[in-house]
Structure 1
Amino acid sequence: MARRPTIKDIARQAGVSESAVSFALNDRPGVSQDTRARIRRVAEELGWQPNSAARALSGERSGVVGLVLARPAHTLGVESFFLQLVSGVQEVLSAARTALLFQVVEDIDAECAVYRRWWAERRVDGVLVVDPRTSDPRPALLEGLALPAVTIGEALSPDSGAAAGPGDGRGSSPAHPVTLSSVRADDAGAMAQVLEHLYGLGHRRIVHVAGLPGLAHTVRRMESLRTEAARRGLGPDQVRSVVTDYSDAEGAAATRRVLAEPDPPTALVYDNDVMAVAGSAVAAELGIPVPGRLSIVAWDDSALCRVTHPRLTALVRDTAGFGRLAAEELLAVLAGSPPGVRISERPRLEPRDSTAPPPAHT
């Protein structure tokens, strides 16, 4: 088996002592510039890299950040959101020569256990936290561990119904001190766009096929739907949400249930692209034309939405850019910046072939 090069190997080939190699590779005084350059050249030729575990034990950064995902594993393989998010994160981390340690767990308790283990082992310098919960133990845990973190999404608060403003600056409101950094998307404003579009077309019976009920962004979307519906005089018997696990199977099952009702909805809004495509397939199976009798909107745009027939109206957002923003914020915190808030650009609704006015008799 190939053996990893050591400081002893570098010293032997460069013709210097091991202490001189240590000085040179750690930018410490004690060797001449010519010797330092020769040692580094030999280290590069041998393919030497510093031992991240040893660096962490000595108090240096490990060069690794962590991401734990507590979601049903079967929902991840078909949903494009996390793949795009991680690609944006990785783009920034790669440029900074920082690795990403990724783990999927079964629930929030297991996620907290991973954070404790990583902290005890000095495995990561900081973490990216996804899917803020309605009752979330993670912020307090991470603050107690003094483990730098950036939350991707906004936790619920007493003023959570307020829409976030557009922009991509870094800052925090003095009225609400920030203890953990976060990057946020305007879920309430996005849902308002969707309802405005469907209401403008004439829809008065709308069902939102939502994701996991314990997630803060799910609650925020549901609250926005109710608020916007009430502003237009529509009650809960006309506009409502049903929850799922984000999978195509549950999206299809929810679609069957609501379309079998005595007064079925004329429009469905799905919390991801996979469920929207599954719902469109169910409508076709039931002989319900889209958009002739049923309009469909997908929350996240993807290739699925654009190649499905009819092409699905969808909310377009830069998910990879959202990931880049989160990684940039975490690197800034690790470099000594105070915790802050970054707001991503508001998603925009792109009407396509799947939305149209409802039939006149409805």
Structure 2
Amino acid sequence: MQEQERTGKSPRAQSRVGLRDIAEALGISQTAVSFAINDKPGVSDETKRNVKEMARKLGWTPTYAAQALGSSRTMTVGFAPSRSADDYQTESFMLHFMAGAQLALSRKGYGLLFSPCTSLDEEIQVYRDWARRKRVDAVVLVDLRSNDPRPRLLRELGMPAVLAGGPDPDDIVPSLSIDDSRTMESVLVHLSLLGHQRIAYLSGDSHLDYCMERTKAFESFTSTRGLGPLWVEFTDFDVNKAVAITQRLLVEEEPPTAFIFESETLAAASIRVITEVCVRQSELSGKDGGRRYPYNMPATVSFEDSFICRSLYPSVTAVHRDAGEYGTLVAKLLLKSLSGRPVSGNRKVLTPQLIIRESTRLAAAD
């Protein structure tokens, strides 16, 4: 009584609202409430709606420990991409992707366990360790490779997964992918309409499926249109290698009039070299002779968009995709699988948009 007089609330009102309170308010069993809250089969859609509405009215919120104990789940999704540490410092796509995934997961009480790896072998070992310790309920895969061992391994470990990218050729892991072939076509249409015939594509890693899909689209389009000479060079996402390739191509007898870069960091590093060459050519051409910087620059396009592309001069034409939304959609697909609903196959989502900026508006083909 003294406690109630001091706080103005009854001991019951101060205690945390539980599933029992929801069950008593609706006149149903606590088990039915648990099934409804966790979107499990066994109760009707109407019951699920009523339970969730009552939970909101009573101010119920899930308790991590109770969820994990009651469902034998960790309420955690694993994410262990094998990439270099520099990728997370210089490229924004993956960070926005993770933020979007976490947004969707947190709404269902899940957390994202991020464990970056430096190699495929390390990534595989992380999955084995997670399965042995029952550390996560499922994983998100990225960067599908040719003859990728991860989908088959995860099936053997009994660990649900979804793939951002793909599709998985063995159809083991369902996936959501971005239409890269159509995107490459839109880039090349833009460049060819500007009169560019000699185009260089500085790709990423020849073992990654999306790099190879873009490469095939590049080769198919340019062959059909009769463009050339052409260059496809793999950089392994190494900016130093990209710079060296760019320098080599610029001194060709007929150098490229346009460059396509796999990422904004490759583009930024290479544009510095391109600028130096073009400024020097402007100085040598004399006050009135020839096209001067930046109008004598080859056109440049980045397959990733970020503030880097907007901030450079000339600003860089880039392929824009909403990485946060992509992460959210991938996480929702995984949550659907974890809820017991059937998930299969591959769907293409988020057709990217080509943002045209100065790097192709100012540059003209020879």
* 1:324 alignment counterpart: 328
Q: Which residue of 2 aligns with 1:161?
A: none
Q: 1:233–1:322: structure 2 CA closer, same or farther, 3 Å change rule?
A: same
- Out of 172, 176, 192, the position equivalent to 1:179 is 172
* Counterpart position of 1:7: none
Cα distance in structure 2, aligned partners of 1:225 and 1:216: 14
- Whether the 8 Å contact between 1:291 and 1:353 is mirrored in structure 2 is no
Residue number in structure 2 paired with 1:355: 360
Give the CA deviation at 1:262: 2.4
Choose which of 88, 98, 109 in structure 1 pairs with 2:110.
Answer: 98
1: CA distance, partners of 2:157 / 2:318: 40
Q: Deviation string for 1:224-245 (max 9, x for gaps)? A: 000000010125xx12211113
Aligned to 1:246: 237
Shift of 1:349: 1.0
Question: 1:179·1:339 contact (CA, 8 Å) conserved in 2?
Answer: no
Question: How far apart in 2 are the matches of 1:207 and 1:345?
Answer: 26
- The structure richer in helix per residue is 2
Compared CA separation, residues 324 and 261, structure 1 to 2 (3 A) = same
2:269 maps to 278
Distance 2:168 2:157 in 1: 22
Name the counterpart of 2:73.
61
Distance (whole Å) between structure 1 residues aligned to residue 80 and residue 162 of structure 2: 12
Kindly indicate whether the alpha-carbon contact (under 8 Å) linking 1:150 and 1:180 is maintained by their aligned counterparts in 2: yes
Kindly report the root-mean-square deviation, in angstroms, between the aligned alpha carbons of the 2 structures.
2.9
Q: Distance between the aligned counterparts of 1:319 and 1:192, measured in 2?
A: 21
Residue 104 of structure 1: CA displacement? 1.4
Residue 104 of structure 1 aligns to a residue whose secondary structure is: coil
Give me the whole-angstrom Cα distance separating, in 2, the residues matched to 1:211 and 1:108: 17
Query: Which shows bigger deviation, 128-137 or 147-156?
Result: 147-156
**Which sections of structure 1, spanning at least 5 residues, go unmatched?**
1-13, 16-20, 31-43, 158-176
TM-score normalised per structure 2: 0.76
Correspondence for 1:50 = 65
Post-superposition shift, 1:338?
Answer: 1.6
CA distance in 1, matches of 2:64, 2:181: 47
The structure 2 residue matched to 1:192, chosen from 163, 180, 185, is 185
Distance 1:29 1:279 in 2: 63
Q: Is the 1:315–1:347 Cα contact (8 Å) retained in structure 2?
A: yes
Counting only pairs closer than 5 Å after superposition, residues 17-166 of structure 1 correspond to structure 2 as: 49-50=64-65, 55=69, 60-155=72-167, 157=169
1:309 to 310, 313, 320: 313
Instruction: Find the residue that maps to 1:276 and give its secondary structure.
Output: helix
Do the aligned partners of residues 354 and 49 (structure 1) sit closer, same or farther apart at CA in structure 2, a change above 3 Å counting? closer
Q: 2:299·2:359 contact (CA, 8 Å) conserved in 1?
A: yes
Instruction: Measure the CA separation in 1 of the matches of 2:359 and 2:214.
Output: 21
Deviation per residue, 1:309-335 (Å, 9 max, x gap): 111111111111111110000000000
CA contact (8 A) 1:156 1:216 kept: no
Residue range with higher mean Cα deviation, 271-280 or 186-195: 271-280
Change (3 A) 1:297 1:258: same
1-structure distance, mates of 2:230, 2:267: 18
Which is higher, the Rg of structure 1 or of structure 2?
2
Q: Which AA in structure 2 matches 1:336?
A: G
Q: CA deviation at 1:59?
A: 6.2
Aligned mate of 2:246, from 235, 252, 255: 255
1-side partners of 2:302 and 2:30: how far apart? 60
What is the DSSP-based 3-state SS (H/G/I as helix, E as strand, rest coil) of the residue aligned with 1:147?
Answer: coil
Q: Distance in 2 between matches of 1:220 and 1:29?
A: 51
Q: What residue is the counterpart of 1:168 in the other structure?
A: none
State the TM-score, normalizing by the size of structure 1.
0.77
| Partner-residue secondary structure (3-state), 1:100 | strand
Between the aligned partners of 2:294 and 2:252, the Cα distance in structure 1 is 18
Of 182-191 and 107-116, more deviation after overlay is shown by 107-116
Alpha-carbon distance in structure 1 between the residues aligned to 2:221 and 2:63: 59
How many percent of aligned residue pairs carry the same amino acid?
Answer: 34
CA contact 1:153–1:185 (8 Å) conserved in 2: yes
Structure 1 contact 69–111 (Cα < 8 Å) conserved: yes
Task: Report the count of equivalent residues.
Answer: 306
SS in 2 for 1:183: strand
Gap runs ≥5 in structure 2: 1-10, 24-28, 32-58, 280-292
Equivalent-residue separation in structure 1 for 2:218 and 2:115 (angstroms):
33
**SS of the residue aligned with 2:215?**
helix
Letter in 2 for 1:347: P
